[in-house]
Structure 1
């Protein structure tokens, strides 16, 4: 399941949905939150924009790549858009698989691709209420490189 939405999500509901299949032996989840500091700057809010249709297609391709690499029984990716406040949930990735190794690897892979390849644009507002667009971090690209062999 892939969702791009402005509404918050309930981690417990998403987890419970992933563990309904009796063949599931592991569920790994990741949730990203809006934090108060990014790259040394104080942050008061975060706004996420996307390109409807293109974003969902990109997320579906990322999940498809994960499914071709690991034995995944089910996968959920939820990414929020709009203005978010400190500690708001941004993203949820949940993987259900037979074994923990596949679930951990697939979850990390999807997050590394989301941070670098998915068409989302981030604008942060600092403590002085100045807004600025956030560039991709080099560390995110380095994390992706371990999957691409670059």
Structure 2
């Protein structure tokens, strides 16, 4: 039991040290991402790893959604028209987007109003979360990718 308690104390200390180190690193890389509501240092780090490791795959918001596993896939049958989440993509980034959605559902008035409205429209909570994750992915894509300079965009 003592060995287990020492291991727990050592790991807790290591987690604390790493938490203190990651904040300044992600702030230096992309401070705008930390300014987004619900995005903390851990989530920022995960989004930067996903975007930074595959810059050629981030051509559009849709490709980023597919990469993160939040692109809606048709799951309709008969007269029912609905979508489900893509089960592919980076699961850690998908989890990070879920943490943002959970934070916003608890603290953001606009998100709570959206959830209430969509619930009245007949959507289930998983379907609402799917929609919110897609919205969060679109929003974070805009922050993650720099806008191209005007002279390069017009030359292409």
TM-score range (shorter-chain normalised) is under 0.3
More strand by share: 1
More helix by share: 2
TM-score, with normalisation over the residues of structure 1?
A: 0.26
Q: 1 or 2 for the larger relative contact order (CA 8 Å, sep ≥6)?
A: 1
Quick check: which has more Rg, 1 or 2? 2
TM-score, with normalisation over the residues of structure 2?
A: 0.25
